[in-house]
Amino acid sequence: MHVLILGGDGYLGWPTAMYFSQRGYEVTVADNYFRRNSCLELDVGMLYPLPSLAERAAIWYRRTGKEIKVVIGDLREAEIMRSLFSGTVSYDWAINKSFTGVPETIVHYAEQPSAPYSLINYKYANTTISNNLLVTNNLMFAVRDFSRDTHIIKLGTMGEYGTPNIDIEEGWLTVRHKGREDTFLFPRQASSLYHTSKIMDTDLMWFGVRMWGLRVTDLMQGPVYGMLTEESGVDERLKTIFNYDEIFGTIINRFIVQAIVGYPLTVYGKGGQTKGVLNINDTLQCVYLAQKHPAESGKLRIYNQIMETFSVNELAELTRRVGVKLGYEVQIEHIENPRVEAEEHYYNPAYHGLLELGVKPHYLTEESMEEMFTVVERYKKNIRRDVIFRGIKW
């Protein structure tokens, strides 16, 4: 089985590559360092430095004898995307140019993943929309033209649904109207341009499914936390990228770093915003099980990829408790909300599908948070307070 991971240098992409490789899959990763370059451009800092993607693959090979093929190229370029299917090499650089054949599964992570990034100004909004839609559209046409049977696993986000005043279903809603009934994509109303680009991505895939019978799984994921996985334990240098800044850091990762450097936990507004979250190890399980049980041809299958829900206040309180237990003085500060969002709202999403496929959740507990504190503490001297909050306003 050949798995192609688009965005394979990223926070989720690199651990996914190792996960599949460890389980005997042929793995190709493609990336253009968009994330790393953006970190440099915006000067956001990282908890620890990372080897290049080629170096990571070389370390993995030395440690396990398993090869991860690396392609460096911008997937907004249609010819680069298509060359991953046709074998006609047109990408910028590859570790091993021999063509592995069309992939049976594609995991599509290659997007700009930050809401604040998408709202820095019109330029970053354009980058987000053009990057995310062009990569997805190029992928859809490449699969249509070269390999219609390939299963696409695309990452969506729970943020596509927004915070409606009704229960959130897994992707679809049956509507009765004037005595007739039909099933539609669940109504979506995002509160950032990044999340809006993800809605548009879902629509592109839904179009491809209806027109050409593509097989697609769309995983509506909540914010992911953590950095260690079984495979990253093979070598210290294989840990995934860890950002704690306002642009690329995710909430739990950020709170832990803030607690460690004595920076008051930045709760936006009232802190009643509720989100579904998951451990990075559960992202790996979800993607793996989605691959094992592919969507049928002509089906857009949607799962809500979260394991539990917390309000921002609850996450801050948990971080405070764990921090204090470990000897840190942790303050919580309610700051003026730079975002336009509901600070208190109804939130009741369904998330049965992935559990039914067999995912065994790693829940967020004081113990699991303590483990993350222990890793972050080792890099305390690298933490830059100036990047933690800059106040990008909606």
Task: Tell whether residue 303 is a contact of ligand NAD (CB under 6 A).
Answer: no
What is the rounded distance in angstroms from the CA atom of residue 172 to the CA atom of residue 149? 23
- DSSP-based three-state secondary structure for 172: strand
- DSSP-based three-state secondary structure for 350: coil
Q: Phi, psi (5° rounding) for residue 158?
A: -60, -25
25, 124, 194, 225: the catalytic one is 194
Token duo for residue 358: 């067999």
**Based on CB atoms, which residue is closest to ligand NAD, 26 or 201?**
201
Task: Tell whether residue 7 is a contact of ligand NAD (CB under 6 A).
Answer: yes
The answer to whether the CB of 259 falls within 8 A of the CB of 381 is no
Minimum Å distance from CB 243 to ligand NAD? Answer: 8
What is the rounded distance in angstroms from the CA atom of residue 357 to the CA atom of residue 304? 12
69, 198, 239, 275: the catalytic one is 198
194 is catalytic: yes
**Based on CB atoms, which residue is closest to ligand NAD, 183 or 253?**
253
Token duo for residue 392: 């990008």
Task: Tell whether residue 224 is a contact of ligand NAD (CB under 6 A).
Answer: yes
157 is catalytic: yes
**Based on CB atoms, which residue is closest to ligand NAD, 139 or 334?**
139
Task: Tell whether residue 218 is a contact of ligand NAD (CB under 6 A).
Answer: no
Q: In whole angstroms, how far apart are CA 330 and each of 60, 192, 370, 390?
A: 38, 30, 14, 20
Q: In whole angstroms, how far apart are CA 219 and each of 88, 171, 196, 354, 367?
A: 31, 9, 15, 9, 28
**Based on CB atoms, which residue is closest to ligand NAD, 157 or 176?**
157
Minimum Å distance from CB 91 to ligand NAD? Answer: 10
Chosen residue from 25, 109, 288, 373 binding ligand NAD by CB under 6 A: 109
What is the rounded distance in angstroms from the CA atom of residue 247 to the CA atom of residue 192? 13
Range in contact with ligand NAD (rule: CB under 6 A) among 31-39, 309-317, 328-336, 374-382: 31-39
**Based on CB atoms, which residue is closest to ligand NAD, 297 or 308?**
308
Chosen residue from 20, 25, 34, 310 binding ligand NAD by CB under 6 A: 34
Chosen residue from 250, 274, 279, 291 binding ligand NAD by CB under 6 A: 250
Q: By rule CB under 6 A, what count of residues binds ligand NAD?
A: 27
Task: Tell whether residue 33 is a contact of ligand NAD (CB under 6 A).
Answer: yes
105, 136, 157, 229: the catalytic one is 157
198 is catalytic: yes
Minimum Å distance from CB 87 to ligand NAD? Answer: 19
Q: Which of residues 53-92 bind ligand NAD (CB under 6 A)?
A: 74-76
Residue nearest to ligand NAD (CB): 10
Q: In whole angstroms, how far apart are CA 211 and each of 156, 262, 299, 374?
A: 21, 54, 11, 50
**Based on CB atoms, which residue is closest to ligand NAD, 40 or 324?**
40
What is the rounded distance in angstroms from the CA atom of residue 153 to the CA atom of residue 85? 16
Q: Which of residues 128-187 bind ligand NAD (CB under 6 A)?
A: 131, 135, 155, 157
Nearest to 198 by CA among 228, 165, 220: 220
Beta strands in 9-138 (DSSP E): 26-31, 68-72, 93-94, 105-108
Q: In whole angstroms, how far apart are CA 188 and each of 86, 154, 300?
A: 35, 17, 16
Range in contact with ligand NAD (rule: CB under 6 A) among 11-19, 57-65, 173-181, 227-235: 11-19
Compute the Cα dihedral for 9, 13, 19, 22 and give only its sign.
Answer: negative
Residues at the site binding ligand NAD, with contacts judged by CB under 6 A? 7, 9-13, 31-35, 74-76, 109-111, 113, 131, 135, 155, 157, 221, 223-224, 241, 250
Q: Which residues are annotated as catalytic? A: 157, 194, 198
